[in-house]
A and B are shown apart, each in its own frame.
Chain A
Amino acid sequence: MDLNDSPEQAKYRAKVRAWLEEHRSEAPFGPYADEASEVAARRAWQGRLAEAGMAGVAWPVQFGGRGLGPVEHVILNQEILRAGVPNVLDVIGVGMLGPTIIAHGSGEQCNRYLGPLLHGDEIWCQLFSEPAAGSDLAGIQSRATLQADGTWSLSGQKVWTTNAHFAAHGMLLARTDPDVPKHKGLTMFIVPMDAPGVTVRPLRQVTGDPEFNEVFFDDVALDADAVCGPVGGGWGTALTTLMFERLVIGLGSEGMGYQAERYARAVAADAHASADPEVRRRLGEVAVELLAVKFGGYRILSALQQGQIPGPESGLAKITTVRAATDAGDLIADVMGPEALAAGEEWEQMISFLPGLKSAGGTEEILRNTVGERVLGLPPEPRLDKGIPFSELRAKERAAASS
């Protein structure tokens, strides 16, 4: 049982640490006058990281990466956290969408998009979820219609889109054939966010801050070469993105800030609460779960090192984290009273963020279904959508809802 770096890993860590120490003064720390200046500063910093080989380390060398493994990726993240400097701005692009282009895109697409993506010159957003298709992603209704000249016309609505308001491109899943079963008629597109007919609107969360956007597409014209991966093969392309999403979440959990020590500090600040058996029991229960997630993260890392990819069971860590952090927020608000809910403060922010996080990247219920079926091998819930053309399915749904 060994938590230490191998000699090669230790060497890599030392190299990264030395670079970060030397260049720390170039990193942006804010405060910023507005979001635009923050984005500009962080894009520039992403460029510095990319030049130094500290962005997309797991990307192939030919596309500007370092061809390293997930363990080096984690080491880099740990060192960036330790140095207290910001990581890349475009986590979604570098972690999920770039790798999707590498896996499914054409040579031209790789040459055109990957460099500017990695260096932060062009920010990307992920246009998958819709108001009526989240956990059941294959139920999306955005339509891309093939035109006589080989171009496409796109209409529909996407939601929960991080960074859409300053993104240059979006990776968008659209329905291109409604007359086949729902997983089959999908195609992935690369969409320029400044195209005529694209409208981005901020979507405010519980805190009142807009952390996401909704994006509308009204007869947006897309060139034939906007298709990423095969026409009608969009579901497979999307699964690649989602696999990388799991990896990003699995490798980045340490930085999420939901740590037992953080909540212990908050309780310790109140001497009366620190000696209250009920408070201590609740803190202890929260800490047990978060310590398990922390060590479970090492298990994932160890498995990666043996060449395994984190499976659906790593979704359990997300369930545990959200539950424990929710209980922690509840405990701290009980200890502090209404002051914990002061607008813009640490606990108000956390308490407001968690109810939404419970559904982010798949609801807790869907995660439990997935783990139950893929890990425990339990039979699936009966489905009414298998093998039915999407257009017919929609008609059935409408009829059922109105009866």
Chain B
Amino acid sequence: MNLELTDEQTFLREAARDAFSRVWTVAAARDALEDRSALPDLWPTACAAGWPGLLVSDDGGGAELSAFDAMLVMMEAGRVLAGVPLLGHLPASSLLDGGGFADIAAVAEGSARACFVPARPPGDVAGGWTVESSTGSMRTDAPVLGEDGVLSGRSCWVVDAPGADVLVVAAVRASDDSPVAVVVDGAAAGVSVEPAMRYDATRSLGHVTFSSVAGASVLDGAGAEEMAGAWYLAQALLAAESLGAVETALQMSVAYAKERFTFGRAIGSYQAIKHSLVEILRLRENAYSLCLYAGWAHEDGPAEFPLAASAARAAAGHALDYAGRAMISVHGGIGATWEHDAPLYFRRGQLSRRLLGGIGDATDRVAGELLSAV
């Protein structure tokens, strides 16, 4: 039994922290709300650090590290609200590597940025592979690959889609509704990516439309299991990113509770404040335990990975919602103003928990996994 970070993992985490510290990511998150050009391009930073190839095999030119290693980098990105397009790239790189994509080396070094255009795997109650609509709770069907090799359909709120070079699309075959991973050039005729920004300027989103896109190639090695695996990997990465943001919210709130005095006492001495801060810690500890669970399951217990990743996602999403609100409350009136960083973490939490199926879907999947295992 050993759940401590290895020396390599500690080094990876420190290197990520160091790389992000050279950019004013939090200030940029505020400025970009009014002017998106204020957002730094962190892809060169990611490439210099070797992150695009984190999950790519050695043969493919990658570092062949574990999902948990990638989660450690995501935690550091989340800590400082860095908008680095790894959430779209990493699951895509994993599918491309496993599916024998010819130009995997470019994906691993980051000269080709990939993006996973996800679809929700069927659950134990609702069947079918589905994607997000532009609004509303109705799920729509995943894009369809015709027997003529033509891809059609639309997928909304796709993380990191704008500007991606390679799209790895979770689609279904027209013939039998079976899932298939389709590789499309981001600039191919018939592909349209409509950039969308909502509430959190650091999060690059896009509505992706495939209007009879011809010439798409199919990743032969990627079946239902791999497609579902990419979905749950994205859940685990988003969980880790949210957890990082929770840690900053906790640290800043605790520091303020020690230095701010009311009625002659530091506000952290009041139980109402103290208990709220301990609640952030409790939710943080739970989310970290579940991120470890997801990391372990990805390597050593794949049958449990859907459960573990969904649980981590639900826990971390809830933790960041709570932490963002508590951070504003602990800081009092100033916490609810543009002057303070707290609203940026709040914005991050409110958008993140609604992406990739939302934490409601993740929570339902936890129940579904357990109920179907009875």
Q: Which residues of A contact B285 (CB under 8 A)?
A: 292, 296, 313, 316
Question: Which of B270, B308, B360, B370 is A281 in contact with, Cβ under 8 Å?
Answer: B360
Q: Are the C-beta atoms of A379 and B275 separated by less than 8 Å?
A: no
- Which residue of chain B is the closest to A367 with respect to CB atoms? B278
Q: Are the C-beta atoms of A281 and B286 separated by less than 8 Å?
A: no
Q: Are the C-beta atoms of B286 and A378 separated by less than 8 Å?
A: no
Q: Indicate whether B289 reaches chain A with its CB closer than 8 angstroms.
A: yes
A287 and B373 CA atoms in complex are apart in Å by 13
A303 and B266 CA atoms in complex are apart in Å by 33
Q: Indicate whether A275 reaches chain B with its CB closer than 8 angstroms.
A: yes
A57 and B112 CA atoms in complex are apart in Å by 58
Q: Are the C-beta atoms of B296 and A1 separated by less than 8 Å?
A: yes
A289 and B258 CA atoms in complex are apart in Å by 29
Distance (whole angstroms) from the CB of B250 to the closest CB of chain A: 8
Question: Which of B289, B295, B370 is A283 in contact with, Cβ under 8 Å?
Answer: B370
Q: Are the C-beta atoms of A381 and B271 separated by less than 8 Å?
A: yes
Task: Among B273, B307, B366, B373, find the residue whose CB has the most chain A CB atoms closer than 10 A.
Answer: B366
- Which residue of chain B is the closest to A285 with respect to CB atoms? B363
A287 and B273 CA atoms in complex are apart in Å by 28
Q: Which residues of A contact B257 (CB under 8 A)?
A: 378
Q: Are the C-beta atoms of B290 and A377 separated by less than 8 Å?
A: no
Q: Which residues of A contact B277 (CB under 8 A)?
A: 372, 376, 378
Q: Indicate whether B364 reaches chain A with its CB closer than 8 angstroms.
A: yes
Q: Are the C-beta atoms of A292 and B315 separated by less than 8 Å?
A: yes
Question: Which of A268, A287, A296, A381 is B269 in contact with, Cβ under 8 Å?
Answer: A381
Interface residues in A2-47 by Cβ distance below 8 A to B read: 2-5, 9
Q: Indicate whether A226 reaches chain B with its CB closer than 8 angstroms.
A: no
Whether A281 contacts B281 in the complex (CB less than 8 A), given A71-B1, A288-B311, comes out as: no
Q: Which residues of B contact A352 (CB under 8 A)?
A: none
A261 and B265 CA atoms in complex are apart in Å by 46
With an 8 Å Cβ cutoff, the count of chain B residues facing the other chain is: 53
Q: Are the C-beta atoms of A288 and B290 separated by less than 8 Å?
A: yes
Q: Are the C-beta atoms of A264 and B268 separated by less than 8 Å?
A: no
Q: Are the C-beta atoms of A287 and B370 separated by less than 8 Å?
A: yes
Q: Which residues of A contact B224 (CB under 8 A)?
A: none
Q: Indicate whether B355 reaches chain A with its CB closer than 8 angstroms.
A: no
Q: Are the C-beta atoms of B1 and A372 separated by less than 8 Å?
A: no
Q: Are the C-beta atoms of A302 and B1 separated by less than 8 Å?
A: yes
Q: Are the C-beta atoms of A261 and B370 separated by less than 8 Å?
A: yes
Q: Indicate whether A257 reaches chain B with its CB closer than 8 angstroms.
A: no
Whether A3 contacts B1 in the complex (CB less than 8 A), given A277-B364, A296-B286, A376-B281, comes out as: yes
User: Could you write out 12 A-B pairs with CB less than 8 Å apart?
Assistant: A1-B299, A3-B300, A71-B1, A267-B371, A268-B374, A288-B318, A291-B311, A295-B293, A319-B282, A368-B275, A377-B254, A379-B269
Which residues in B have some Cβ–Cβ distance to A below 8 Å? 1-4, 66, 68, 125, 254, 257-258, 265-266, 268-271, 273-275, 277-279, 281-282, 285-287, 289-290, 292-293, 295-296, 299-300, 307-308, 311, 314-315, 318, 360, 362-368, 370-371, 373-374
